[in-house]
Chains A and B, each alone.
Chain A
Amino acid sequence: MPMKIAKLTFALLTILFLVAPLIAILPLAFTSSVILTYPIPSWSLRWFEELFFADAWRRAIINSLIIGTGTTLLATVLGTAASLGLRNRLFFFRGSMRTLFLLPMVVPAVVLGVGMQVLLARFGLINSYAGVIIAHTVVAIPFVVVSVTGALAGIDERVELAAQSLGAAPVTVFRRVTLPLAMPGVLSGAVLAFATSLDEVVLTLFVAGPNQRTLARQMFSSIRENISPAIAAAAFLFIAATILIGLVVVLSRSMLERRTRPAAS
């Protein structure tokens, strides 16, 4: 019995350690004070106003949306196409290609950032939206590839063969069979790509100019220089978006499972 109590205490304490910090920051988004500490004197929405109407924060939000959208489009298209290519089991370099596509997740961001800055400066892409989108796409690619290859692996190839034997052209098979079946994976890959771009700081520090300051970058420098409850308001938005994104991913996964289960049995 004492063993059971010890286990329960340990599990609860660890859950507290994991989740409490995220909960602790939320109420501070609604403080009326200018300092980021408890107790909260009175409730106010002034920091959300700051977030949406102060020039620096508003521009940062707009930049994050522009760069996030660009990254999502580029990473999803490139990653989905490559994942389809990786389905070919006869392809000789399949393993090494897959490793290459996943490596951006492993390489330390600062190392990639230094290299990116040198290279993009040479192309004249430094301090431009295109440069930041390219940098974010590189680190978003692994998430798209993992997600889409996972979805493609769940497709029963006999379904495609059946369509083919019934006279569908390869393009039709892809458009009417493969793509719809893989769609949940593509969607969750796109969501993860957007989330990656939204949260990216290190590469942005290296390749973005003052005009491409993203929300994450703005949060980084305001934690560093003049910490204010605007951070908590931004964090509130981030956590709300995370829960939303999490729901989308979970829903699309369960959609995928529901689709593949009958085919597999």
Chain B
Amino acid sequence: MSGSSSRMGRSLLLLAPLFLFLMGFFVWPLFSMMSQAVSDPAVLRLLPRTAEIMGDWDRESPPSMPMQTALMEDLKAVDDDQALGDMVRRLNSARSGFRTLMSKTTSALGDAASPPPDLVSIDKRWEKPEFWIAIADALSPLTDRNLLAAVDLGRNSAGAIEHLPADQSVNRVILVRTFWIAALVTFFCACIGFPYAIIAASLTGWKRDLMLAAVLLPLWTSLLVRTAAWFILLQEQGLINDFLRAIGLIDAPLALIFNRTGVIIAMTHVLLPFMVLPIYSVLITIPKNLMPAAASLGAPPIRAFLRVLLPLSLRGVASGGLLVFISAIGYYITPALIGGPGDQMISSIIAFYATGSANWGMAGALGMVLLVATLLLYSVYARLSSDEPGRR
């Protein structure tokens, strides 16, 4: 018995380093991304005194004197300009006008010669409860604001969830676009990949090897090289336009790059191997004599295909389709380089929020949407492909 327990200990020792590594650098980053989406410390961190006092406020009456004093003290104590900027940005996004109000207030508070007695004497707007409601809402360390905004929802002043006005509703458009592009790419991959896999599986020897090598070579080639190659082919003076002009099909060059057409073509090329290989691996397990058997029983080729080959290979098509779709919704490089502004998918928007505007909350919230969609689809895929041995 000691043999098996020492073997167990050895397995644990071997597994532990990778387990800890992935916990630290894979699972933890994903969690910290998600916590960015729901955490909202920008205001609370700078206004601790105000937070303490505002707990008792009824959100309707004009701001009391202790509230004003607390906020003035908090603002005077701020010595980090960047944190102040973060706070003002957060408040301004909840209620426009905060930027000017805050800069006026902080410069008045900085005037040591004649300290203002209260905030209202600096600016009349401090009398209005709306501005204080914005502060009160922003004081909670947790927020669902980003998650709601990721699907174009927001809370109104009463706290109920409602649709954002149309001019702020950009994310849903991008989500729909992402799924639409991914669906189109999956469709084209299936249209090309399914017949291709059937032909490859029906061949033998070098012909089959050639068809498989044609799939594997692009799969092994760097994604950037493939994208650069499509850039060269699709551009205005590219090979495709040159060729079409040379055979006299068109007079002026077609717009193939920086638009949807280019993105779909390039992504279909990049993802086609992920469609062909799963279908092929299912097809080669189907006994070769089934189709002749159907034909000998009098089924015309189309009927034999619909009743015999299609049902048997459907699982391969489904797993290939899922694989293509999952990869497509997370795509960043190809749309970024081949697409125009109207073809950017959810990954580009996440990258923009994270690196372009340092809005980690929104980046995290959209990232969470993408992550959940991906993992759900992957669990379907995993179930589909783990059924394999049991079905036969």
CA A17 – CA B276 in complex, angstroms? 14
CA A22 – CA B266 in complex, angstroms? 12
B347 adjacent to chain A (CB < 8 Å): yes
List, in ascending order, chain B residues with CB within 8 A of A86's CB.
11, 15
CA A202 – CA B336 in complex, angstroms? 11
B180 adjacent to chain A (CB < 8 Å): no
Instruction: Out of B15, B199, B217, B225, name the residue touching A238 (CB < 8 Å).
Output: B225
B242 adjacent to chain A (CB < 8 Å): yes
Instruction: Say yes or no: B222 contacts A205, CB within 8 Å.
Output: no
Instruction: Out of B26, B33, B363, name the residue touching A103 (CB < 8 Å).
Output: B26
Instruction: Out of B7, B28, B196, name the residue touching A14 (CB < 8 Å).
Output: B196
Instruction: Out of A85, A99, A199, name the residue touching B223 (CB < 8 Å).
Output: A199
List, in ascending order, chain B residues with CB within 8 A of A205's CB.
351, 355
CA A233 – CA B164 in complex, angstroms? 49
Which of these binds chain B: A49-57, A108-116, A182-190?
Answer: A108-116
B235 adjacent to chain A (CB < 8 Å): yes
CA A223 – CA B242 in complex, angstroms? 21
B66 adjacent to chain A (CB < 8 Å): no
**SS class, residues of chain B in contact with chain A:** helix
List, in ascending order, chain A residues with CB within 8 A of B350's CB.
110-111, 114
Instruction: Out of B10, B224, B354, B382, name the residue touching A219 (CB < 8 Å).
Output: B224
Instruction: Say yes or no: A19 contacts B11, CB within 8 Å.
Output: no
Interface hub of B12, B21, B272, B326 (most chain A Cβ within 10 A)? B21
List, in ascending order, chain A residues with CB within 8 A of B192's CB.
14, 17
Instruction: Say yes or no: B25 contacts A235, CB within 8 Å.
Output: no
A118 adjacent to chain B (CB < 8 Å): yes
Interface hub of A3, A220, A245 (most chain B Cβ within 10 A)? A220
Interface hub of B221, B301, B330 (most chain A Cβ within 10 A)? B221
Instruction: Say yes or no: B224 contacts A91, CB within 8 Å.
Output: no
A37 adjacent to chain B (CB < 8 Å): yes
| Residues of A112-158 contacting chain B, CB below 8 A | 112-119, 122, 134-135, 137-138, 141
Which of these binds chain A: B84-92, B113-121, B208-216?
Answer: B208-216
CA A90 – CA B4 in complex, angstroms? 9
Instruction: Out of A15, A81, A245, name the residue touching B18 (CB < 8 Å).
Output: A81
Q: Which residue of B lies closest to A91 (CB)?
A: B11
Q: How far is the CB of B191 from chain A (nearest CB, A)?
A: 11
Instruction: Say yes or no: A18 contacts B347, CB within 8 Å.
Output: no
Q: What string of 1s and 0s marks CB contacts (under 8 Å) between B1-30 and chain A?
A: 000100110111111011101100111111
List, in ascending order, chain B residues with CB within 8 A of A22's CB.
217-218, 221, 225-226, 229
CA A82 – CA B374 in complex, angstroms? 25
CA A107 – CA B326 in complex, angstroms? 9
Q: How far is the CB of A177 from chain B (nearest CB, A)?
A: 16
Q: Which residue of A lies closest to B265 (CB)?
A: A17
Q: What string of 1s and 0s marks CB contacts (under 8 Å) between B25-59 and chain A?
A: 11111111100100000000000000000000000
The interface size of chain B toward A, counting residues with CB under 8 Å, comes to 80
CA A25 – CA B224 in complex, angstroms? 12
Which of these binds chain A: B104-112, B132-140, B364-372?
Answer: B364-372
The interface size of chain A toward B, counting residues with CB under 8 Å, comes to 77
Q: Are A118 and B15 also in contact (CB < 8 A) when A22-B217, A22-B229, A78-B21 are?
A: no
| Residues of A166-206 contacting chain B, CB below 8 A | 170, 195, 198-199, 201-202, 205-206
List, in ascending order, chain B residues with CB within 8 A of A38's CB.
237, 239, 242
List, in ascending order, chain A residues with CB within 8 A of B292's CB.
none
A-B contact count (CB 8 A): 238
CA A220 – CA B367 in complex, angstroms? 22
Q: Are A220 and B25 also in contact (CB < 8 A) when A22-B229, A79-B18 are?
A: no
Instruction: Say yes or no: B36 contacts A201, CB within 8 Å.
Output: no
B254 adjacent to chain A (CB < 8 Å): no
Q: Are A10 and B195 also in contact (CB < 8 A) when A111-B33, A115-B32, A219-B224 are?
A: yes
List, in ascending order, chain A residues with CB within 8 A of B229's CB.
21-22, 24-25, 235
Q: How far is the CB of A216 from chain B (nearest CB, A)?
A: 5
Instruction: Say yes or no: B8 contacts A90, CB within 8 Å.
Output: yes
CA A241 – CA B228 in complex, angstroms? 17
Q: Are A85 and B367 also in contact (CB < 8 A) when A18-B272, A114-B354, A242-B221 are?
A: no
List, in ascending order, chain B residues with CB within 8 A of A47's CB.
none
CA A259 – CA B326 in complex, angstroms? 37
CA A203 – CA B133 in complex, angstroms? 40
| Residues of A206-236 contacting chain B, CB below 8 A | 206, 216, 219-220, 223-224, 227, 231-232, 234-235
List, in ascending order, chain B residues with CB within 8 A of A163's CB.
none
Q: What string of 1s and 0s marks CB contacts (under 8 Å) between B52-89 and chain A?
A: 00000000000000000000000000000000000000
Q: How far is the CB of B234 from chain A (nearest CB, A)?
A: 10
List, in ascending order, chain A residues with CB within 8 A of B228's CB.
25, 219, 223, 231-232, 235
List, in ascending order, chain B residues with CB within 8 A of A104's CB.
22, 26
Instruction: Out of B211, B222, B226, B238, name the residue touching A11 (CB < 8 Å).
Output: B211
7 closest pairs, A vs B, by CB?
A108-B330, A115-B29, A85-B14, A115-B33, A85-B15, A82-B18, A21-B229
Where the two chains meet, the residues of B that have a C-beta atom closer than 8 Å to any C-beta of A are: 4, 7-8, 10-15, 17-19, 21-22, 25-33, 36, 192, 195-196, 199-200, 210-211, 214-218, 220-233, 235, 237-239, 242, 269, 272, 301, 326, 329-330, 332-333, 336-337, 347, 350-351, 354-355, 360, 363-364, 367, 370-371, 374-375, 378, 382
Question: 9 A–B contact pairs at CB < 8 A?
Answer: A15-B210, A82-B14, A82-B15, A85-B11, A85-B13, A91-B12, A100-B22, A109-B332, A238-B222
Identify 12 new A-B residue pairs, CB closer than 8 A, beyond the known A11-B199, A91-B11, A234-B225. A11-B200, A21-B233, A22-B217, A38-B242, A78-B18, A90-B8, A111-B371, A115-B32, A201-B224, A202-B333, A206-B351, A224-B336
